[in-house]
């Protein structure tokens, strides 16, 4: 049995991998989170890795508090960059495979078309910069690793845009939602399935891949779809990002081109609204 170490197992993606783990009896999953596998402590990373001796590492852990990272740069860098450098080195030395999850925030959002894997990164936030540094360290220290960049992740688990919108639509009569930031949502359950499909394929093609659900929408469009599916009456108004200033700058356009993962692994991304309906139905149950 392949021993699969999953870090960040209590987050959105890690939780969805847990949900699917039973479908893969040939994989022995070890799910860890910050309490038992802290990524901000190098020596503990090494000790835990050497104790577990994984065949594969799926790194779902990250410092994802985008605005807080602007002030807490040291912690963000420790988790998003330095820890990945350590994990990648350990995987390389032990010949373990590594799948590392990254983000659309490595781009500046000025492209007129969907970003491809080899487009030049130019992060505009500490979060994006630390995630890019993590990518660079990952590929340097473990050239055989796979990096999957994703965007706008949501799930039944954890905190995310969908759950926040549902709460606010219940509490308020009016909402303003940014309408000039464009991308595509990613249902964490779909991304989890993609990762496990890659692992189960017996085909390992290292490098960077992009994955999200299909669609090109704004946060306002996303909110309107949530409203429609949930049958909410809250009035939603589109507003420019300039009306909702945040400590960290977000990419204005961060659509990801998924041609590579489709071609190499035969992945067929689901339309975002189809997945949104599934997630909301599960949440209601």
CA 268-157-61 angle, 5° bins = 80
The SS3 assignment for 143 reads coil
CA 183-82-185 angle, 5° bins = 15
pTM listed for this prediction: 0.97
Question: Nearest-CA neighbor of 283 among 162, 161, 152, 188?
Answer: 162
Q: Provide the pLDDT for residue 148.
A: 98
Q: Provide the pLDDT for residue 223.
A: 98
Give me the tens of pLDDT residue by residue for the chain, a chain 285 residues long. Answer: 899 999 999 999 999 999 999 999 999 999 999 999 999 999 999 999 999 999 999 999 999 999 999 999 999 999 999 999 999 999 999 999 999 999 999 999 999 999 999 999 999 999 999 999 999 999 999 999 999 999 999 999 999 999 999 999 999 999 999 999 999 999 999 999 999 999 999 899 999 999 999 999 999 999 999 999 999 999 999 999 999 899 999 999 999 999 999 999 999 999 999 999 999 999 998
Q: Which of these is catalytic: 63, 105, 115, 127? A: 127
Provide φ and ψ at 3, rounded to 5°.
-90, 115
Q: What distance lies between CA 69 and its chain's CA centroid?
A: 16
End-to-end, the C-alpha distance of the chain in Å comes to 34
User: Among this protein's residues, is 24 annotated catalytic?
Assistant: no
């Amino acid at each position: 049995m392949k021993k699969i170490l999953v870090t960040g197992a209590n987050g959105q993606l890690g939780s969805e991998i847990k949900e699917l783990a039973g479908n893969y009896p040939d994989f022995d999953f070890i799910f860890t989170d910050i309490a038992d596998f802290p990524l901000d402590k190098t020596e503990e990373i090494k000790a835990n890795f050497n104790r577990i001796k994984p065949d594969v590492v799926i790194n779902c852990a990250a410092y994802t508090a985008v605005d807080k990272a602007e002030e807490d740069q040291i912690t963000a860098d420790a988790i998003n960059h330095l820890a990945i450098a350590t994990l990648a080195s350990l995987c390389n030395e032990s010949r373990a495979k590594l799948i590392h999850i990254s983000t659309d925030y490595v781009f500046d959002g000025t492209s007129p078309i969907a970003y491809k894997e080899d487009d030049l990164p130019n992060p505009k936030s500490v979060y994006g910069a630390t995630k890019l540094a993590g990518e660079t360290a990952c590929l340097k220290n473990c050239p055989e690793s796979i990096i999957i960049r994703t965007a706008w992740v949501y799930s039944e688990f954890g905190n995310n845009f969908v759950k926040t919108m549902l709460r606010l639509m219940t509490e308020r009569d009016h909402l303003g939602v940014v309408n000039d930031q464009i991308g595509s949502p990613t249902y964490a359950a779909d991304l989890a399935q993609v990762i496990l499909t890659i692992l189960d394929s017996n085909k390992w093609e290292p490098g960077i891949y992009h994955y999200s659900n299909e669609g090109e929408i704004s946060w306002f469009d996303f909110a309107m779809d949530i409203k429609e599916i949930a049958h909410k009456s809250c009035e939603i108004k589109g507003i420019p990002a300039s009306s909702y200033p945040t400590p960290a700058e977000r990419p204005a356009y961060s659509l990801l081109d998924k041609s590579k993962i489709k071609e190499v692994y035969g992945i067929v991304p689901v339309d975002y609204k189809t997945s949104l309906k599934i997630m909301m139905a599960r949440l209601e149950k």
